[in-house]
Amino acid sequence: MKWQGNRESDNVEDRRGMSTGRKVVAGGGAIGIIILLLNLFGGETGQTIGSILEQTNQQQTTTQTSGETRSLSPEEIQLGKFVKTVFAYTEDTWTKVLGDNNIEYRNPKMVLFSEAVETACGSASAASGPFYCPGDEKVYMDLNFFQELKTRFGAKGGDFAIAYVIAHEVGHHVQNVLGTSGKVSQLQQRVDEVQGNKLSVALELQADFYAGVWAKQNQQYLEADDIDEALSAAQAVGDDAIQSRMQGYVNPDSFTHGSSEQRKYWFMKGYNTGDIKQGDTFAELK
């Protein structure tokens, strides 16, 4: 993705290399990456993490020492600049797109962290994966996640995979601004678990759709393989792909984010149309 020399967002707080000075519960061995992927691109943090941790005996507690810091490497500094630029692209895009629809957009913030973080939605470790917290309107990301996504789950990697994830999480903020996420949360309190999961899937697929709309609006910055990188990431984090790899079978009733094909479809629909009015992922539930 083309980004160097463009504006960097002022709404990114870089806490990488800083210790939280608290105890964090994180999965030992494979469980950490399972939690990470099951929560990938999630909305409110803490719910799925807690249920998995209660069901596993592979937990471990790691203690972080207060006040410990380390210097970021040149590569980490460069990656931070890339993330800030992509975040600025989302600010410009959604200010314009929502403004064209007579809706005022308020910029979210982003927190880059290592190991663990405190949020308005609760405490989270790096194992939670990237997520958006509506309580403080912040996107939280441990950038080490992307190496895991590439090496252990077969995604192509590349800088646009990161851009896609950022755009997806900002998509959740768009839903917050539009009031969609609040309505879904209220509906989920009145339905059973299966229907609640279907609502979660629709919410996640709409965030993928918004990520596609964002990509369409930023075509001037795209390079030849960028869309393939996004689709590869979407393929890797589909509920069916994760369940098949982790447990050997697929249970659609337990999906919370959508299948690989659904995630790719809705991203591409957003990219091909560039029209936020075409993203009614809830239609089949009506």
| Within a domain: 7 | no
Parent domain of 205: 12-285
| Within a domain: 249 | yes
Residue 125, H or E segment? strand 122-125
| Within a domain: 3 | no
**Residue 210: which of 78, 108, 58, 67 has the closest Cα?**
108
Other CB atoms within a 10 A radius of the CB of residue 167 amount to: 29
State the average pLDDT for the chain: 82
| Within a domain: 5 | no
Please state whether the predicted TM-score (pTM) of the whole model is above 0.85.
Answer: no
| Within a domain: 82 | yes
Of the candidate ranges 24-38, 120-134, 270-284, the one whose mean pLDDT is the lowest: 24-38
In order of 80, 194, 224, 238, 245, the CA distances from 85 in angstroms are 9, 39, 19, 27, 34
The pLDDT value recorded for residue 153 is: 60
The pLDDT value recorded for residue 267 is: 97
Number of domain units in the chain: 1
- Is residue 236 within 8 A of residue 155, CB to CB? The reply is yes
Q: What is the mean pLDDT of residues 83-109?
A: 97
CA angle at 285 for the pair 187 and 201, rounded to the nearest 5°: 75
CA angle at 196 for the pair 284 and 117, rounded to the nearest 5°: 120
The pLDDT value recorded for residue 52 is: 34
Other CB atoms within a 10 A radius of the CB of residue 278 amount to: 14
| Within a domain: 4 | no
| Within a domain: 2 | no
User: For residue range 225-264, what is the model confidence (pLDDT) as tens digits?
Assistant: 999 999 998 888 888 888 888 888 889 888 889 999 999 9
The pLDDT value recorded for residue 71 is: 85
Could you give the percent of the chain with pLDDT greater than 90?
Answer: 56
The pLDDT value recorded for residue 171 is: 97
Other CB atoms within a 10 A radius of the CB of residue 9 amount to: 19
